[in-house]
């Protein structure tokens, strides 16, 4: 009880101090209505030109920007080619072949057993896991950024704990600007008049890096040393 009283007083102290400095009382209902409208309309501010364009162009820009951020990208014709592309990537780079898959219905439904090289399991990442394969919610062309949502189907640890992260992304998931991701997220997670956020929205642009030793950029600081994107050409440019 006393702890609660203390928190409440901290709160009132701070809000009171803010209002005193601003030289006004708490806002009127009318003023609040206007501000609430700003929040509920969540209008986009300025969207840079590079976040706009035809879908094909955006997919191309996504690829370019992701590569500029030190990702590698392999384009495949359809989703059935994903397990093979993952195996090819691991083999070509001499990487471990024990793979932790996100427990995602779509991803798990692909034919992983057909890849004799791969030894797959599914779940969150443990300290010894070296390679993860996950889906993503979207790809953003303006900076080559992947967006992943945490949830039962996509444990966050898969994005950060393993040394090598592979992401399977459908071209139809590529959008121009970040704002389009928020619109898709609000739609996908609609609840009542609002929407729910997952615990984490992870925007990922290239592998982990640091410049903390003498301003020299080194990859693989604490997160993945490499980020490989298998981009599925699913011919669904139109949204």
**Segment 73 to 132, residues that bind another protein, using CB under 8 A:** 103, 123-125, 127
Tell me the C-alpha distance between 209 and 219, whole Å: 4
User: 193 vs 238, which CB is nearer to another protein?
Assistant: 193
| Cα distance between the two ends of the chain | 53
Number of chain residues interacting with another protein (CB under 8 A): 79
Q: What contacts 24+ positions apart, CB below 8 Å, involve 108-112?
A: 110/79, 110/80, 110/82, 110/83, 111/80, 111/83, 112/83
Does position 46 bind another protein by CB under 8 A? Answer: yes
Provide CB contacts within 8 A for 188, sequence distance 6+. Answer: 137
Burial readout 86-109 (b: 16 or more C-beta within 10 A, e: otherwise) = bbbbbeeeebebebbbbbbeebee
Provide CB contacts within 8 A for 221, sequence distance 6+. Answer: 208, 209, 210, 212
Does position 1 bind another protein by CB under 8 A? Answer: no
Among 168, 202, 230, 232, binds another protein (CB under 8 A): 202
Does position 188 bind another protein by CB under 8 A? Answer: no
User: 71 vs 231, which CB is nearer to another protein?
Assistant: 71
Closest separation between CB of residue 36 and another protein, Å? 8
Does position 38 bind another protein by CB under 8 A? Answer: yes
Among 1, 2, 29, 39, binds another protein (CB under 8 A): 39
Identify the bridge partners of residue 140 per DSSP, sorted by sequence position: 145, 175
Among 33, 35, 80, 121, binds another protein (CB under 8 A): 35
Among 56, 64, 68, 96, binds another protein (CB under 8 A): 68
Among 10, 78, 96, 114, binds another protein (CB under 8 A): 10
Among 27, 92, 117, 236, binds another protein (CB under 8 A): 27
Does position 199 bind another protein by CB under 8 A? Answer: yes
Does position 28 bind another protein by CB under 8 A? Answer: no
Residues in 148-187 that interact with another protein by CB under 8 A: 150-152, 155-157, 159-161, 178-179, 182
Does position 7 bind another protein by CB under 8 A? Answer: yes
What single string gives the DSSP state of each residue in 139-172?
EETTTTEEEEE-BTTB-THHHHSSSEEEEEEEGG
3-state secondary structure of 33: helix
Angle at 228 between CA 224 and CA 230, to 5 degrees: 145
Q: By CB under 8 A, which span of 25-33, 72-80, 93-101, 113-121 interacts with another protein?
A: 25-33
Tokens of 67: 């590569």
């Amino acid at each position: 009880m006393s702890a609660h009283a203390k928190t409440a007083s901290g709160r009132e102290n701070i809000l009171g101090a803010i209002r005193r400095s601003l030289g006004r009382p708490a806002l009127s209902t009318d003023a609040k209505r206007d501000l609430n409208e700003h929040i509920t309309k969540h209008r986009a501010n300025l969207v840079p030109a590079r976040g706009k364009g035809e879908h094909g162009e955006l997919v191309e820009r996504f690829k370019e920007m992701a590569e500029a951020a030190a990702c590698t990208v392999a384009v495949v014709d359809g989703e059935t080619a994903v397990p093979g592309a993952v195996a090819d990537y691991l083999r070509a780079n001499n990487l471990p072949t024990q793979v932790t898959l996100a427990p995602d219905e779509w991803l798990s439904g692909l034919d992983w057993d057909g890849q004799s090289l791969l030894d797959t399991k599914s779940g969150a990442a443990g300290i010894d896991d070296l390679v993860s394969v996950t889906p993503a919610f979207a790809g953003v062309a303006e900076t080559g950024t992947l967006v992943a949502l945490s949830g039962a189907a996509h444990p966050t640890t898969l994005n950060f704990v393993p040394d090598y992260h592979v992401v399977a992304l459908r071209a139809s998931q590529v959008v121009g600007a970040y704002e389009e991701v928020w619109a898709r997220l609000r739609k996908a997670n609609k609840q009542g008049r609002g929407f729910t956020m997952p615990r984490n929205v992870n925007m990922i642009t290239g592998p982990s890096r640091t410049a903390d030793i003498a301003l020299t950029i080194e990859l693989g600081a604490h997160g993945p040393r490499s980020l490989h994107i298998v981009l599925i050409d699913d011919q669904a440019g139109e949204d």
